[in-house]
Amino acid sequence: MPSRRPDSTVRRSGSKRTAALAVGALLGALSVTALPATATAAAKLDNPYVGAKAYVNPDWSARAAAEPGGSAVSDQPTFVWLDRMAAIQGTTGARGLRAHLDAAKAQGANLVQLVIYDLPGRDCAALASNGELGPDDLATYQSGYIDPIAAILADPAYASLRIVNLIEPDSLPNLVTNAGGTAGSTTQCATMKANGNYEKGVGYALHTLGALPNTYNYIDAGHHGWLGWDSNLNPSAQEFKKAATTNGATVNDVTGFIVNTANYSPTKEPYVKITDTVNGQTVRQSKWIDWNQYDDESSYAQGLRTALVAQGFDSGIGMLIDTSRNGWGGSARPTGPGPTTSVDAYVDGGRIDRRIHAGNWCNQSGAGLGERPATAPDTGIDAYVWAKPPGESDGASQAVDNDEGKGFDRMCDPTYTGNGRNGNNLTGALPNSPLAGHWFSAQFRQLLANANPPLSGSGGGGGSDTQAPTVPGGLTVGATTSSSVSLSWSASTDNTAVTGYDVYRDGTKVGSATGTSYTDSGLTASTTYSYTVRAKDAAGNVSASSTAVSATTKASSGGGGSTGLKAQYKNNDSSTGDNQVRPGLKLVNGGSAAVDLSKVTVRYWFTGESSSAGYQTFCDWAQLGCSTVKTSVGTVSPSRTGADHYLEVGFNSGSLAAGADSGDLQLRMAKSDWSNFDESNDYSRGTNSSYADAAKVTVYVSGTLVWGTEP
């Protein structure tokens, strides 16, 4: 089991988702003689976590539940680490891959998370998690590790499971920072850069596993304290592109990237922003930040995502953040900014990351559980996940004989005074730790005690504020559609201030809000869901759950309403095969009262042909003024007849009087790569060149369908 090791000494040296390939392509790629045929491939999902019930590993869950208070989190989904070839079939105390998949089906889960982790020369910059394969054992990696995994995943019995693969932690970033010319370099990393086996292995894993119709590959991408400097970020994006186009792989085999795997970097630093200045000095000059462009994982993930798209990865790629051990709660957690006497005092007093140095990575003292796993918690973030199962050690604090290929790394020794990678500081590691991947009870108990958000409303957020907000009241279901539910509730109160609310669907956190309303989307039609809300404050204290409410989504073909609104449409482009779609839309108010346009949305449904395509939208002319009109493209998952996307039109402001219409809205959209559409089967498209009522263009008020029929 690895941990993340930044090399902070080198920082200044100086759709996503394509349709899955047919299984025949997989069979041709594998060097195994007989794989069972799988079901016909279907278009892969834009975000596999949407609508998913993730698998809870019973092996980890039992160990967590056996600890005092551990039952509070033992039902959380964690990744299964396939960290050696023996793990595929199972080892003493840990079931194998097939047994995990069978257990997932028995749980009723439809998403399983795996760590693919056995590269030749693995973890070239550390000893604690070295692997079983030598630097030149690429052929063994392919035939003895990747191929058997693919063979099991290809079994038709598991076709209903979404498989998320975390591809090879601690590999590609080391080629950027530790393969020569820096204080953090090692001869092992230089060897792996020279022989190319990290890139070839990652490429083979991406290509082979990506060929399966139900798999989603996320490449490990370090963390902000490793790759966040200018000199590291773009070279890393280039390295990821190189690996993703090696040994048969293409960028279409990559669903996204994961940051902070098994590390302790906070998801967000609430009191220290990289743009802050103190007495005219930027906080980037502080010893802690040391000219890094980022100081938390959310901003790093967004910055890296931009760099990856610039390298040719699809604009729809999503990011994962490992939040399993980055909560940093407890009494040492700051409750506000530090003093403004200097940039160092400001940063050190306000940062919630309480490590001695951002280069420290092994079994960190003072760490706590972070955000619980959640789907689409922020823009561009597919999910918060627990990639590193809490309670599993990063490495032994002293040398331990073993047959797992794991060495003794001094960064796991609390008495070690450090090296160039951590600024020659103490390691901050907990004492008496076992081998990497083995259960570490003392660490797990610390993570529980310092969890942030806390595990209950009794406090634990840090500092002197231990009072939780009051429970949100009056949780109410508002508008519903076939794919969304709108909620509202009464504001909570707190002794300091309520900073936001977490929304839970069927017991799983699905999002957060700063106000007292939230719309949960991506749901299944004609399905009943249960919702609760919890309030939180700046110290990380979290209220108990609100009273639960149930909401049932509408049937997919539902419609109607009494507002009198309707959509009209005309075709502004007779071609069905060029690279732009040009619908003309008009909103008509046939009711007896004015309508607030800021609450109205209109959807034009179409097929994009390629699920990996990103989209651009344009307002060419509008009688209301294009500054009033806002446009975007949404994904339909699962796709429907004639529609896997929709153009959504909204309005920033304005009112539409009874008997009036919006006037002409001349709209246009194109794919990011300007490839051609095939509009011949688009649900909303018509051939009329003058405005006419359009039942296949849908209108919503506050999320409720009031006109038309969805596909």
Report how far residue 231's alpha carbon sits from residue 581's, in angstroms, rounded to the nearest whole number. 41
Sheet holding 215-220, edge to edge: 80-82, 111-116, 162-167, 215-220, 256-259, 318-322, 381-385, 374-378
Report how far residue 458's alpha carbon sits from residue 21's, in angstroms, rounded to the nearest whole number. 50
pLDDT of residue 14: 27
SS3 283: helix
Q: What is the mean pLDDT of the chain?
A: 86
For 494-505, what is each residue's pLDDT tens digit?
877 777 888 898
Report how far residue 256's alpha carbon sits from residue 319's, in angstroms, rounded to the nearest whole number. 6
Give the list of residues 6+ apart from residue 142 with CB closer than 8 angstroms, or none.
31, 201, 204, 208
CB hemisphere CA count around 404 (13 angstroms): 25
Report how far residue 112's alpha carbon sits from residue 215's, in angstroms, rounded to the nearest whole number. 10
Give the H or E element holding residue 187.
Answer: helix 187-195
Report how far residue 122's alpha carbon sits from residue 656's, in angstroms, rounded to the nearest whole number. 63
CA dihedral in degrees (480, 486, 489, 491; nearest 10)? -160
* Strand partners of residue 656: 595
Give the range among 118-122, 223-227, 239-243, 701-705 with minimum mean pLDDT.
701-705
Give the range among 253-262, 485-494, 519-528, 560-569 with minimum mean pLDDT.
560-569
pLDDT of residue 675: 86
pLDDT of residue 17: 38
Contact 7, 177 (CB under 8 A): yes
Is 295 among the catalytic positions?
A: no
For 119-133, what is each residue's pLDDT tens digit?
999 988 877 677 899
Task: Characterize the bridge pairing of strands 600-606 and 697-701.
Answer: antiparallel
Give the range among 153-157, 169-173, 397-401 with minimum mean pLDDT.
397-401
Q: Which amino acid is at 331?
A: S
CB hemisphere CA count around 300 (13 angstroms): 31
Give the range among 75-84, 97-106, 394-403, 463-472 with minimum mean pLDDT.
463-472
* Strand partners of residue 616: 670
| DSSP structure class, residue 117 | -
Contact 556, 563 (CB under 8 A): no
Report how far residue 18's alpha carbon sits from residue 41's, in angstroms, rounded to the nearest whole number. 11
For 642-685, what is each residue's pLDDT tens digit?
888 999 999 999 999 888 999 999 999 988 878 888 998 899 99
Q: What is the rounded average pLDDT of the residues 527-538?
A: 86
pLDDT of residue 465: 58
Give the list of residues 6+ apart from residue 280 with CB closer than 8 angstroms, or none.
none
Report how far residue 391's alpha carbon sits from residue 177's, in angstroms, rounded to the nearest whole number. 29
Backbone phi and psi for residue 80, each to the nearest 5 degrees, phi listed first:
-95, 125
Backbone phi and psi for residue 505, each to the nearest 5 degrees, phi listed first:
-110, 120
- Could you tell me what percent of the chain has a pLDDT over 90? 57
pLDDT of residue 368: 95
Give the list of residues 6+ apart from residue 570 with CB closer than 8 angstroms, or none.
583, 584, 686, 688, 689, 690, 691, 692
Query: In this predicted model, which residue has the larger pLDDT, 583 or 43?
Result: 583
- Written as one string, the DSSP assignment of 598-662 is GGEEEEEEE--S-TT--EEEEEEEETT-GGGEEEEEEEEEEEETTEEEEEEEEESS-EE-TT-B-
CB hemisphere CA count around 460 (13 angstroms): 23
Q: Is the pLDDT assigned to residue 600 strictly greater than 80?
A: yes
Q: Is the pTM of this model over 0.75?
A: no
Task: Characterize the bridge pairing of strands 277-278 and 583-589.
Answer: unpaired
Report how far residue 705's alpha carbon sits from residue 605's, in angstroms, rounded to the nearest whole number. 14
SS3 119: coil
Q: Which of 46, 123, 170, 644 is catalytic?
A: 123
CA dihedral in degrees (96, 102, 105, 107; nearest 10)? -70
pLDDT of residue 611: 59
| DSSP structure class, residue 229 | S
The token pair at 293 is: 């462009």
Domains and CATH numbers, the chain: 58-450 (3.20.20.40), 473-552 (2.60.40.10), 565-707 (2.60.40.710)
For 273-307, what is each residue's pLDDT tens digit?
999 999 999 999 999 999 999 999 999 999 999 99
The rounded radius of gyration (Å) of the Cα atoms in the chain is: 26
| Confidence class for position 569, pLDDT limits 50, 70, 90 | very high
| Confidence class for position 176, pLDDT limits 50, 70, 90 | very high
pLDDT of residue 481: 78
Give the H or E element holding residue 189.
Answer: helix 187-195
Report how far residue 221's alpha carbon sits from residue 301's, in angstroms, rounded to the nearest whole number. 9
Place of tokens 């929709």: 646
Per DSSP (E only), the strands in 138-221 are 162-167, 215-220
Give the H or E element holding residue 152.
Answer: helix 147-153
For 61-95, what is each residue's pLDDT tens digit?
999 999 988 989 999 999 999 999 999 999 887 89
Nearest one of 394, 382, 397, 240 to 307, comparing CA atoms: 240
Report how far residue 365's alpha carbon sits from residue 363's, in angstroms, rounded to the nearest whole number. 7
Report how far residue 448's alpha carbon sits from residue 367's, in angstroms, rounded to the nearest whole number. 9
